Amino acid sequence: MTVEYDTERGTHTGILAAAEAASPVESVDVVARELKRRFGATSVSFLITDLARQSVVRMSTAGEVGTGESMETVPLFGTVYGDVIRTQRLRLADAVDGDGGQRVIAPVTNRGDSIGVLEVRVPADPDRRTLREISRAAHTLAYIVIANQRFTDLYQWGQRTAPLSLAAEIQHNLLPSSLSCEAAQFAVAGALEPAGNVGGDTFDYALDRDTLHLSVTDAMGHEVNAAMLATLLVGALRGARRAGCDLAEQARRAHRAMVDHSGGAMATGLLLRVCLRDGRVSLVNAGHPWPLLLRGGRVEEVGLRVNLPFGVQPQRMYEVQGMELRPGDRLVILTDGMLDRRSRLVDLPALLKDTQELHPREATQILTMAVLDANRGELKDDATVMCLDWYGPEPVRRDAQTGASLTQASPSLFPRPRS
C-alpha dihedral, 190 to 54 to 167 to 380, nearest 10°: -80
Confidence of residue 415 (pLDDT cuts 50, 70, 90): low
Give the pLDDT confidence of 128-175 residue by residue, as tens digits: 999 999 999 999 999 999 999 999 999 998 898 888 999 999 999 999
The Cα–Cα gap between 337 and 194 comes to 10
Number of independent structural domains in the chain = 2
SS3 state of residue 20: helix
Percent of the chain clearing pLDDT 90 (strictly above): 69
Q: Give the pLDDT confidence score for residue 98 in this predicted structure.
A: 63
Q: Give the pLDDT confidence score for residue 112 in this predicted structure.
A: 94
Give residue 14's identity as a one-letter amino acid code: G
Last residue of a domain, one of 134, 158, 182: 158
Indicate whether 273 and 342 sit together in one domain: yes
- What's the burial of 211, exposed, middle or buried (CB within 10 Å: 0-12/13-18/19+)? middle
Q: Give the pLDDT confidence score for residue 263 in this predicted structure.
A: 93
Is residue 371 within 8 A of residue 191, CB to CB? The reply is no
Give the pLDDT confidence of 8-67 residue by residue, as tens digits: 445 667 788 888 888 888 878 888 888 888 888 998 999 999 998 999 999 866 544 444
> Is the pLDDT higher at 5 or at 30?
30
Question: Does 237 reside within a domain?
Answer: yes
Q: Give the pLDDT confidence score for residue 314 in this predicted structure.
A: 85
C-alpha dihedral, 60 to 63 to 65 to 69, nearest 10°: 140
Residue 273 pLDDT greater than 80, yes or no = yes
> Is the pLDDT higher at 314 or at 323?
323
Residue 185 pLDDT greater than 50, yes or no = yes
Indicate whether 145 and 242 sit together in one domain: no
Indicate whether 154 and 185 sit together in one domain: no
Give residue 61's identity as a one-letter amino acid code: T
Is residue 89 within 8 A of residue 107, CB to CB? The reply is yes
Residues 6+ apart with CB under 8 A from 243: none
Q: What is the largest CA-CA distance in the chain?
A: 72
- Average pLDDT of span 284-302: 97
Indicate whether 191 and 328 sit together in one domain: yes
Last residue of a domain, one of 158, 185, 212: 158
Give the pLDDT confidence of 366-383 residue by residue, as tens digits: 999 999 999 988 888 899
- Average pLDDT of span 289-294: 97
> Is the pLDDT higher at 102 or at 97?
102
Which DSSP state fits 9? T
Indicate whether 352 and 212 sit together in one domain: yes
Is residue 175 within 8 A of residue 385, CB to CB? The reply is no
Question: Does 5 reside within a domain?
Answer: no
Indicate whether 212 and 357 sit together in one domain: yes
267-to-50, 230, 233, 241 alpha-carbon distances in Å = 28, 8, 8, 18
Residue 71 pLDDT greater than 80, yes or no = no
**Cα separation of the two ends of the chain:** 31
> Is the pLDDT higher at 214 or at 397?
214
Pairing of strands 267-275, 292-295: unpaired
Q: Which domain holds residue 131?
A: 11-158
Q: In the predicted model, what is the mean pLDDT of the chain?
A: 89
Q: Peptide bond before 24: cis, by omega within 30 degrees of 0?
A: no
Indicate whether 154 and 169 sit together in one domain: no
Question: Does 1 reside within a domain?
Answer: no
Domain CATH for 313: 3.60.40.10
Residues 304, 308, 311, 315, CA torsion sign: negative
Domain CATH for 33: 3.30.450.40
Indicate whether 148 and 186 sit together in one domain: no
Residues 353, 359, 364, 367, CA torsion sign: negative
Report the predicted TM-score, pTM, of the whole model to 2 decimal places.
0.92
Indicate whether 149 and 172 sit together in one domain: no
Q: Give the pLDDT confidence score for residue 400 in this predicted structure.
A: 65
Indicate whether 119 and 244 sit together in one domain: no
Residue 118 pLDDT greater than 70, yes or no = yes
Indicate whether 131 and 185 sit together in one domain: no
Q: Give the pLDDT confidence score for residue 9 in this predicted structure.
A: 45
- Average pLDDT of span 245-273: 96
Residue 3 pLDDT greater than 50, yes or no = no
